[in-house]
Amino acid sequence: MRCPYCETDNSRVIESRASEDGTTIRRRRECTNPSCGRRFTTYERIEQRPLMVVKKDNKREEFSYEKLYRGLMKACEKRPISAEQVEQVVERIDRRLRLEFEREVPSSVIGERVMEELRALDGVAYVRFASVYRQFRDVETLAQEVLSLLQETAGRTKPGN
């Protein structure tokens, strides 16, 4: 596999790990060029028929695991969330969508799924994503979201948990 930094054609695998459900293998690789030696990650997945995302304007684009992963990483920036947790979320969303939708899925469904997952994972990441996705029209709506989130968090940290 070619190194994305120096474009040397050789790299060695230093770690391979299968995803929870066994459908993806993630490999950490190291460039064999001694003056580079940088590490990068590759994913190996079963080839699936394309799932098309239908956007609001009715245009279609192929569902992209990588694009979803990058979007989530952005929402989780500077939060105590590991890349591995983000991967698990993306894997779960990907798997569920492919089970439920044969060929096409509305982009709004993906947005809702992401919000559900982020809500359970991290309040800040959730509000960040939701504020862009839902385009909260006013401060009041945003405040309500934050408030209900805080109440839930308080409920979860009750003694005895």
Cβ-based nearer residue to Zn ion, 10 or 153: 10
For residue 19, the minimal CB distance to Zn ion (Å) is 26
Tell the burial category of 118 from Cβ atoms under 10 Å away from its Cβ (0-12, 13-18, 19+): buried
125 binds Zn ion, rule: CB under 5 A: no
Tell me which H or E stretch contains 98.
helix 83-100
Tell me which H or E stretch contains 86.
helix 83-100
Cβ-based nearer residue to Zn ion, 6 or 13: 6
6 binds Zn ion, rule: CB under 5 A: yes
Angle of CA points 35, 38, 40, to nearest 5°? 155
Q: Which of residues 27-86 bind Zn ion (CB under 5 A)?
A: 31, 33, 36
146 binds Zn ion, rule: CB under 5 A: no
> What length is written for the chain?
161
- Residue pair 27/40 in contact (Cβ under 8 Å)? The answer is no
3 binds Zn ion, rule: CB under 5 A: yes
Helix (H, G, I), strand (E, B) or coil at 126: helix
Cβ-based nearer residue to Zn ion, 31 or 127: 31
Cβ-based nearer residue to Zn ion, 3 or 81: 3
Residues that bind Zn ion (CB under 5 A): 3, 5-6, 8, 31, 33, 36
